Structure 1
C-alpha cells in the first residue's frame, strides 16, 4: 500500500509523535504549508478548504474531525484535501486552549455558569461519559440497571456548551486561516506558472535551435 508504514509504530511511539512530531512542530508546519501550496486547485478553493478544516477542529466531535472537515468543505465548496490537512491545527498542544475558550464562550451564550473545575476535569468528564456508554451497553446482557447520569452531566456541562461555543472562535480562526493562506497560495502559484513558462520557453528555443542545424 502507498501510505502503509514500513515500520509499524508502537502505541508509545504513536503517542510521542502525537505530542511532538518527528522533526518538531516547525517542520510539520512547513510540510503542511508545502502540501497546501502544491494542491492542484484555485487559491480560493484551497483557502476555503483551510477555513473548513480549522473550523472543524473547534467541534467537540473528537475522532470525527476529518468527517466534519470533509462535510463542511463540501458545504463551502472548498478543497477537501486542504480541509483534511488543516485539521493539523488541532493537536495535543492546542486542544486544551481550544476547549477552554469554546466552553467559556458556550456557557456565556447559553447563559449558564462556567465552573473553573471543568478545566481541570475536562478529560475526566469524557472518561465518565465513555464509562457510562460501556456500562449501559453491558447492562443489556446482564441484570444491571442502566445509569445515564454521567452522560447527561457531560452533555449539559461539556458537550452542548462546547458545540455552541466553538462556533464563534471556530469561524474567527477559520477566517484568519483563509485570509492568511489565500495570498500565499496566489503568490506561490504565480511563481510556479512563471517558472513553468520560462522552462517551456527554454525548451522551445532549444527545439528551434536543433531544427535550424543542418
Structure 2
C-alpha cells in the first residue's frame, strides 16, 4: 500500500543508507518526532530507545533488533522505541564503535595498553580467527553498552516528559475552547481516563 510504484535501484537504496535523501538533520528531526509521539510513559519510551542504542554497541549486527526488543522487555521499555534506537549503529558509526570496543576489550583482557586495531587485522584474519576478534569486542561492548544506556536514557526521558506535558496543556486548552463553542461538557479534574477519551471523541 505504501510501497513505491517503481522500486528504487539497488545503488540508490545503498546510497540512502549512507546518506538519507533528506539529509541527516531532517532524518534526525523525524526520528525525534516519532519518539515524542510514541504512546507510553516517558520512562518506557526512553528505556526502549536506550536499549536499542546500547545493543548497537555489540558486534552482533544481524541480531540487533531481536536483542534490542529483548532488552526493552527486560527493562519494561517500548519495543518500537528500541527498534528506532538501533539506528545509533549505522555505517558511519560502526567503524568507530568496532575500534573502540575491540581496543577496550583487549585492554580489559590484559593487553599492555588501550590501543587501536593491530596492523595485521584484516577480514581474512577475522574469518580465520573469529574468537580472537569477537571475544575482545564482546568484552569491550558490555561496559560501553551499559554507559550508553544511561547516556541516552536520562536526557530522552526528560525531553519526552516535557513534550508530553506541553502536549497535554495544548490539548486541554483546545478542549476548553471547543467546549465553550460547542456546548460540550468538559470532564472534571481527576475524571477517569475513559471519560476523557469519550469527551475527546465527541470533539
In the superposition, the TM-score normalised over structure 1's length comes to: 0.79
Aligned CA-pair RMSD: 2.1
Contact 1:65–1:87 at 8 Å: present in 2 too?
yes
Structure 2 partner of 1:182: 157
> 1:16-165 maps to which residues of 2 (within 5 A)?
16-112=15-111, 116-118=116-118, 121=121, 124-125=123-124, 129=127, 150=128, 153-156=129-132, 158-165=133-140
Distance in 2 between the 1:200 and 1:116 partners? 59
Count of aligned pairs between the two proteins? 183
Higher Cα Rg: structure 1 or 2?
1
Deviation at 1:5, TM superposition (A): 3.7
> Looking at both structures, which has the greater relative contact order when contacts are Cα pairs under 8 Å and sequence separation is at least 6?
1
Q: 2:148 aligns with which of 160, 167, 173?
A: 173
Deviation at 1:178, TM superposition (A): 0.5
Instruction: Give the 4+ runs in structure 1 shifted more than 2 A.
Output: 4-7, 112-122
In the superposition, the TM-score normalised over structure 2's length comes to: 0.83
Deviation at 1:121, TM superposition (A): 4.1
Deviation at 1:117, TM superposition (A): 4.8
Contact 2:102–2:136 at 8 Å: present in 1 too?
yes
Gaps of 5+ in 2: 185-203
